[in-house]
Each structure stands twice: as C-alpha cells, then as structure tokens.
C-alpha cells in the first residue's frame, strides 16, 4: 500500500519489485499526479525494505534486511540513505543484544525510537533508543529464558561451487565439551525468497540442546544480500541452491565439526522442498524432515493458492513443462534411500496436502523408511500449541533414531 507524505509533498511511496517478481524489494516514489515511479534504494541500499514510515521532517525511516541482521536507515526524497541505528549495538542490562527488529514506532522530535528486538539466543523484548546511544530494554516478557541454556550462533561465510561467498549461522551443542565430530543438521529456510536471520528459532535450539550441530545457510535466492543474489535461482530450484547446501555440508566436515556419516537435513515450505530434493540427489544425508514441502511442481501449480509466484520462476506448466519436471523431487524419487519424516497441515493451501501424499506414496513404493504426519485444522504454518510441540518432538526423535549411535 502506498503511503503519502505528511508534508503534503505531491508524492507517495511504496515497496515494490524491479520487474514482475519475485517479491517486493525496493522503496519507490510515485508522483501523485502521474508519471513513472522512481526506485529510491536500488543504488543506495540494494537491500530489501521490510517496513517504513514517514517522519515529520518529510524523510522516511526504513527497516532493511542485511544478511542475518536488519538495520534502520533514514531515506530522503532523492534516495540518499543514512544509517540511524544498528539494533545489534551493545545494550544496557542485556547479555545478548538484539540483531533483528520486528516492529517499530518512529521517533518524533524528543521521542525515542521504540522497537521489538531479538536474537537467536534471546527471544524478543521491547527496546527504546534515541538513535545515537545503545538501545535500552524496557520489557521482560521472556525473562524465563534467562535460566535456559541457549546456543549462541557463530556467523560464517563459506565458498560455494562458483566462488561466491554464502553466509550461514552455526549452533553448537550447549553442553558439548568434546572435540569429536558431531551429528549435524542443515536447516533450510522457506521461500525460496526468504532468509534466516539472527532471531530466536526453536528447531535449532532444541536440536543443539539434544547434542547436534545445526547450520542455517542463506543459499542463493535468499533475501538480504542484494537483488542479484535474490534472483540467482530463477528457473533453477535444486540447481545452484542445492549445490550451496552441499557446499555447506562440505564446509562443516572440513572444519571437523560435522560427522560426514551423520548428516541430516530439514526445513519447512521451500525448506521442505530442499529436503525432498536432497534425498533424491544424494545419499549423504542419513535422515531428513520435510515440512509442507513440494514434491511435484506442476501439480503444486495446479492446486495451490497464488500460483503467480511459481510462474515467475518457471512460467506455466501447460506451456513449459520441462522446467517443472526437471526441478521436481518426484521425478527422481526412485533414487531416494534416506529415511524421511513428512509433516503437513491438513488445510494447507500454500503447499497443499497432496504434495506430501505424493512423496509419501512414492517413498513407500520404493521401500524407503518414511512417516507422514497430518495435522488437522492446520494451514501452511502450524498454530495449535499441541501440534507445535508434537512437531518439535517428532523432529528431534527422528534425528535421534537415525543420526545417533
């Protein structure tokens, strides 16, 4: 939705795409009397604008994604951007400073900026900042976690097949004192036009607490690394992105962290797709968990809500079926040998139930150990507490069964 200037400037701003997809990325200015929109942030920032508000001085306060973190910037009518606040600045009375802001209220003259901030090892709290000094925490909603041992991430870059640097976050077991190689799970984010960030995430924390190394790679197609990186996977799901995943596995093995014989992969939505793709392409993973994945991109297109997103990547399956078939795990499912847990919301209209049913039937046909869990009343993201707990318990139990002696 476009927002008009509070100073009666004859312009409106909105966040949009440079072409017809895949998702809005840049901040645009549009003359109210007509004309061509102008991209304000492609050159000055080249990072996704996650939220913005007008300030009384006619400038815009924007929150932008930048790798695993996000930051506040002030953008003027000509697109000049100045940093306002890095949420990761050391904070008073707060052991783990926030790296990610989720929502904010703008600062007026003499009024501090208020935002909700969090980090992987620190669930969200409210903060105030004058934009110059360290943010001050003003809530204690999640103080329970002060008595819980949470894994703190190590952020690292690794080289992938084409020489690009890919960023990832590593969690190590919270109680580990051994130098032995660890069972390791690669967690793949949803999207694909999404990303992992330095925010509290329960799957990885539970796995780390259970003795696993956990790695979150922001493979090509992720947001937060510029527009060109975001669109590298167009028409190439399971191609360069999968090679980025395997390069992450190699990186962890070479560092002596991951046991090469005890690798696992998991994810939800596109992360589920990548888990399904992985088991049809390699036997290096000894266990996989796919949540709300996509096994057949052509039937996905015909049954999902909002197929225009998939169309941006592959066109129409009625006219260009080759790309859909080439990038569908079901095409290669006869190669699968990896024990696979499949999790699915019964009422999911984003990645419908049929996608998981197709995969389950195929894996059973070829004698692959598999389970299909269908959560009643649930859509694409689970919401009922008992289902959320069950999903976490099943995930850890599945990896314990297949990755631990």
Q: List residues with catalytic annotation.
A: 269, 380
Please provide the DSSP assignment of 170-208 as one string.
EE--TT----S-EEEEEEE-SSSS----SS--HHHHHHH
**Tokens at 198, concatenated:** 């330095």
Q: Which phi and psi (to 5°) does residue 282 adopt?
A: -150, 155
The CA dihedral of 270, 276, 277, 280, to the nearest 10 degrees, is: 180
Phi and psi at 302, nearest 5°, equal -80, -10
Contact call for residues 264 and 184 (beta carbons, < 8 A): yes
Indicate the pairing of strand 285-291 with strand 340-345: parallel
Task: Collect contacts of 5-13 with beta carbons under 8 A, ≥24 apart.
Answer: 5/54, 5/58, 6/54, 6/56, 6/58, 7/56, 7/58, 9/58, 9/77, 11/77, 13/40, 13/52, 13/54, 13/60
DSSP state of 39: E
The Cα 403–Cα 184 span in angstroms is: 8
Beta carbons of 358 and 329 less than 8 angstroms apart: no
Q: What is the CA radius of gyration of the chain?
A: 22
């Amino acid at each position: 939705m476009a927002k008009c200037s509070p100073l009666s400037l004859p312009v409106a701003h909105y966040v949009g795409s440079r072409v017809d997809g895949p998702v809005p990325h840049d901040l645009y200015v549009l003359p109210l009397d007509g004309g061509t929109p102008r991209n304000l942030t492609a050159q000055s920032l080249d990072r996704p604008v996650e939220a913005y508000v007008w300030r009384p001085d006619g400038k815009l306060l924007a929150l932008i994604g930048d790798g695993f973190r996000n930051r506040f910037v002030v953008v003027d009518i000509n697109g000049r951007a100045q940093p306002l606040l890095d949420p990761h600045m050391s904070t008073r009375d707060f052991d783990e400073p926030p790296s990610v802001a989720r929502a904010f209220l703008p600062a007026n003259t003499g009024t501090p900026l208020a935002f909700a901030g969090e980090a992987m090892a620190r669930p969200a709290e409210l903060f105030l900042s004058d934009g110059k000094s360290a943010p001050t925490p003003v809530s204690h909603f999640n103080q329970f976690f002060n008595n819980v041992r949470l894994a703190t991430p190590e952020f690292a870059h690794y080289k992938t097949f084409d020489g690009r640097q890919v960023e990832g976050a590593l969690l190590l077991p919270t109680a580990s004192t051994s130098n032995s190689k660890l069972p390791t799970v690669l967690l793949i984010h949803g999207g694909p036009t999404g990303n992992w960030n330095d925010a509290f995430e329960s799957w990885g924390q539970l796995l780390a607490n259970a003795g696993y190394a956990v790695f979150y790679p922001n493979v090509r197609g992720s947001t937060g690394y510029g527009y060109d990186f975001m669109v590298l996977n167009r028409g190439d799901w399971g191609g360069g992105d999968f090679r980025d995943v395997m390069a992450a596995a190699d990186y962890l093995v070479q560092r002596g962290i991951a046991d090469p014989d005890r690798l696992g992969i998991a994810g939800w939505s596109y992360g589920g797709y990548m888990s399904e793709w992985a088991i049809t392409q390699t036997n290096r993973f000894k266990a996989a968990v796919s949540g709300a994945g996509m096994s057949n991109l052509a039937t996905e297109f015909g049954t999902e809500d909002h197929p225009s997103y998939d169309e941006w990547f592959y066109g129409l399956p009625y006219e260009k079926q080759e790309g859909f078939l080439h990038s569908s795990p079901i095409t290669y499912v006869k190669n699968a040998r990896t024990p696979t847990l499949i999790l699915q919301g019964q009422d999911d209209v984003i990645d419908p139930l049929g996608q998981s049913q197709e995969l389950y039937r195929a894996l059973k046909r070829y004698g692959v150990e598999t389970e299909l869990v269908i959560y009643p009343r649930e859509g694409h993201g689970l919401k009922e507490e008992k289902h959320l707990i069950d999903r976490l318990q099943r995930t850890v139990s599945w990896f314990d069964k297949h990755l631990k002696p």
